Amino acid sequence: MKLLYYPGCTLKTSAKNLEKSAFCVAEALGHEMVEMKDWTCCGVASSLTDDDLMHHLAPLRNLIHVEDEGEERIVALCDMCCNTLKQTNFRVKEKPDDLETLNLFMDRENDYKGTVKVMHFLEFLRDEVGFKTLKKMVKNPLKGMKIMPYYGCMLLRPREVAIDDAEEPTIMGDLLKSLGAEVIDNPFKIECCGSYHTIEEKKLVSDRAYRITKFAIDRGADAIMLSCPLCRFNLDVRGKEAEKIYNNYKQIPVYYYSQLITVALGLDLKNCGFGDHAVDPVLLLKKKGVFENKRE
């Protein structure tokens, strides 16, 4: 099946490995991710003031371009993009007057009809592929790996656009179980990673990364799995920097879910781009003997 895909800025620059590994997973599942035409920046932070419609223009323009291609679904890989597109989609459906204003403002675009469904790739894996199907395809189970799923904010909140329960999400845990890993629970799994403060408040974000990771380590985790490119940077890179602040602290590897699926399905590791991480993710996989693991 063809999956129309919205990349966003980061997937084309500092998170190429997320894009590549997700493409590889989709292909293995018999789907083809096709990049949508004429995409623009989504605006990242959805407008939160009631009078500010201007910042809904960019996401709406993207949704219109999806309609122009005759598709009813758009799949996003970046949590932030997915959230922003969904929030705008929600707002224009809730408030038809706002949609009219936005449509009137745009000259060259067609009017938005409201037919597009925005979907996160994780949602697609859960709802359309099914983790059971995925489990059957596993070649190298992640046996012996204790992994903490980290959800962050944008998948779960605000509730209108959430893909899972805001307080007790299970989607990533279920995915990990289907790949054969042991899931380590952690109350910090739904807490903010520090987000854009990573630019101006490095110490603050390092502290956040430390708190989240330390708790996971104390509970026995030896890796973290997540989906957002900014969370990856903050936990991986700023977490590595926290080693200089906190004695005897060692940052554990951080994986995208798509990378772990790639490994578990026995697909080409070149697609994972593990070299872009601050803490070497391959070392742990080798130590745990994942590549030698066979299905029982």
Partner 1 sequence: MNKIKGKIVDENSLKLKKGELAKEVEELSGENLFGCYQCGTCSAGCPYIEEMDLTPDEVIRYLILDRKEVLNSKTIWLCSSCFTCAERCPRDINITKIMEALRQIILRKNIDKTKLTKLTKEEKEVIPQLAFVCLFRKNVG
Distances (CA, A) of 283 to 100, 122, 226, 261, 291: 54, 26, 18, 17, 11
196 binds partner 1 (CB under 8 A): yes
Nearer to partner 1, 201 or 218 (CB): 201
Distances (CA, A) of 151 to 18, 64, 92, 117, 191: 16, 29, 27, 22, 8
Quote the distance between the C-alpha of residue 265 and its chain's center. 19
246 binds partner 1 (CB under 8 A): no
d(CA 147, CA 125): 19
9 binds partner 1 (CB under 8 A): yes
Which of 157, 177, 214, 240 is close enough to bind partner 1 by CB under 8 A? 157
Count of residues of this chain found to bind partner 1 when the rule CB under 8 A is applied: 41
Which of 34, 37, 38, 45 is close enough to bind partner 1 by CB under 8 A? 45
Which of 208, 213, 267, 277 is close enough to bind partner 1 by CB under 8 A? 208
Distances (CA, A) of 36 to 4, 5, 71, 92: 6, 6, 10, 21
120 binds partner 1 (CB under 8 A): no
DSSP class of residue 262 equals H
195 binds partner 1 (CB under 8 A): yes
Nearer to partner 1, 43 or 281 (CB): 43
d(CA 4, CA 294): 34
Least distance to partner 1, CB of residue 13, Å? 5
Which of 2, 13, 100, 283 is close enough to bind partner 1 by CB under 8 A? 13
60 binds partner 1 (CB under 8 A): no
What type of residue sits at position 219? R
Cα–Cα–Cα angle for 159, 161, 163, rounded to 5 degrees: 90
Which of 73, 158, 269, 284 is close enough to bind partner 1 by CB under 8 A? 158
266 binds partner 1 (CB under 8 A): no
What type of residue sits at position 134? L
191 binds partner 1 (CB under 8 A): yes
Query: Residues near 141 by Cβ (< 8 Å), separated by ≥ 6?
Result: 179, 180, 181, 264, 290, 293, 294, 295, 296
Task: Using alpha carbons, select from 176, 184, 147 the residue that is nearest to residue 264.
Answer: 176
Which of 32, 35, 38, 52 is close enough to bind partner 1 by CB under 8 A? 52
97 binds partner 1 (CB under 8 A): no
237 binds partner 1 (CB under 8 A): yes
244 binds partner 1 (CB under 8 A): no
Stretch that binds partner 1, among 96-104, 139-147, 227-235, 288-296 (CB under 8 A): 227-235
Binding site for partner 1 (CB under 8 A): 8-10, 13-15, 41, 43-45, 48-52, 55, 78, 80-81, 153, 157-159, 166-167, 190-192, 194-200, 204, 208, 229-230, 233, 237
